[in-house]
Structure formats: C-alpha cells, structure tokens
Amino acid sequence: MACSINFPVSGKPISQTSASLIPSPTKTLKLSTSVSPLPSIGFISGASLRLNETLKVRGSKKSSAVVTALAVPVIASVKPEPLKIMISGAPASGKGTQCEQITKKYGLVHIAAGDLLRAEVAAGTENGKQAKEHMEKGQLVPDEIVVMMVKERLLQPDSQESGWLLDGYPRSLSQAKALEDFGIQPDLFILLEVPEEILVERVVGRRLDPVTGKIYHLKYSPPETEEIAARLTQRFDDTEEKVKLRLRTHHQNVEAVLSRYEGVTVKVNGNVPKEEVFAQIDSILTGLIKQKKAASDLAGVRHDSPSSEGTESLKQVAC
C-alpha cells in the first residue's frame, strides 16, 4: 500500500537521496509500507519548520511514523567577533588601573609592548635575541622587532578567541602603519584624557615601596605606616621637569596615531574617580558588543532565511 502526502516545505537538499525525494516544494512524496516510511528528513531546513506541528504518515496497521517539527525558525548561530581594543594615555593617566578592570570584566588578553619585550628576551626567542642585542648596546629596540612581537602575540589562539586589549601601543604613526600592514585594526581606540597640571601632580607625588613593589602617592594614596613612608623611593624621572618632557613627547606621538584611528577613537575623561572612568569605558564596550551581536545575528538571518515558499507549516495527512 502506498500513501501520498503534500509536503510544502522548502530547504536546500543536503544529499543526493534527499534531493531526489523533494525536487520542488509541492512535489508528492510516495512512501511504501514495506520500507521505513520516512527515509530521511535531513533535507528540511530548520528555518522552515514550526513547533509542535506533527506530520503523521500511516501505511498499514503495522507501520507508522511521526515527525514533530521545531518550535520557531532556527537561525544559524554566528558567533560575534571578539573585541579588539587599543588604549592610550599619558603617564599617570590611570591607564594601568583601567586595563586591569577591562580585562577582569571582559576577559580580553592584555598585551603591553614593554612586558612582551621583556618576556621575549627572557624566553630567548628569535625576536628576543635581536632585541637584547640592541638593549645591551644602549640602543632603542627597532620598531620592526617590537611590531613583529606584538603581531605574533595578537595572532595567538587565545587573543583570537577571547579578544585583546593592546596597552599603550602603537605609540607612533610608523608603528600604527606597520600593524595595519599586517591587517591588524582595532574596533576601538580609547584615549584617557587628563589635564596636564593634574598629570604632573600625580607623577611628582608618586613613590615606590622597594620591598613590596607597591606604588603610593603622597597626596592621593599615602603609605599606611611611618615605617613604609621612610623607605619609599622616587623614580629618577618622576620630577616636574622630566614629566613635562615626557608629556610633550606623548602628546606629539598620540596625535599622529589618532590620525590613523580617527574613525574608531573615543576620548574618555580620566580626571574623575577611577570607578567613574571605568563606568564610561564599560558603557562604550557594552554598546560595541551589542552592535557586534546585532551584526552577527543579521548575518545569520541572511544566511539561513527561508524562502517565501517555505513559510507554510507542515500539514497532517492520513491515507
């Protein structure tokens, strides 16, 4: 005994067998009771099915099959691209504190060129050996070596999977161009802005505890005890004259870098409590993630959206 059903469901065939069964949305499917009544449903696109609509196929008293469709249109899952963030700020702008907060909340891989350089030298990598030669001669490490280190770190699996936060780099237009040549572009370039007089005050008042490595500030974060206060030291370049020179260099370099990232730059007020600074950054990153999610969802809809012929529900048919 054979039974005929109308099967008005669209979807791209996934196998030659399935394609031969349903070459068009309204083809009549004949099933024999001597074989399995539903040889395959793999050709049905999930985006064309609706929930709890049941297709029953009856042949003889001994054979029947039931297929229950899915609830709502199923859209292909497209994972949003991970965040790619660069952050810059003058000395004492609070960049280190904000990097810590960002990586803690968003799970980004924190990459600082200075730390990377020291790690590569300690590990004895090829880049590290070349860098060490220049450092031992009292020379600056050439941009091409540092850029290569940064590029390789950004392309490692954890950075690609979780996203990255590039701290204080690039510092010059040439470095930015070199990264661009490698196809490395940020989603966002965050610039912490603090008035120069505040930066000078923050730097000049900084002190280091040589025993614990903790940084104090005579005004904003004084030492807990007289004993600690007595052993604090000041960096040789944390003087007003030297910090103003460093700030001048920073401003010149960052302006050149910003010209490269003009379309993705956001300026954040860093002259407020650190919690408020992070609240600004957090709001920006949350909005960026929503945009990425919306874009990935839209890509999934475009990829798997059913044709108009496939929007009809499955019908129950009995022989």
**Active-site residue set:** 95, 171, 206, 235, 246
For 23-50, the three-class secondary structure string (H helix, E strand, C coil) is CCCCCEEEEECCCCCCCCCCCCCHHHCC
- From residue 32, alpha-carbon distances to 17, 55, 89, 293 in Å are 16, 16, 74, 47
Using the CB atoms, write b or e for 203-222: b if 16+ within 10 Å: bbbbbbeeeeeeebbeeeee
Residue the block writes with tokens 């770190």: 153
Are the C-beta atoms of residues 97 and 273 closer than 8 Å to each other? no
Distance in angstroms (rounded) separating the CA atoms of residues 139 and 68:
72
CA distances to 2, 134, 239 from 20, rounded to whole Å, are 18, 69, 81
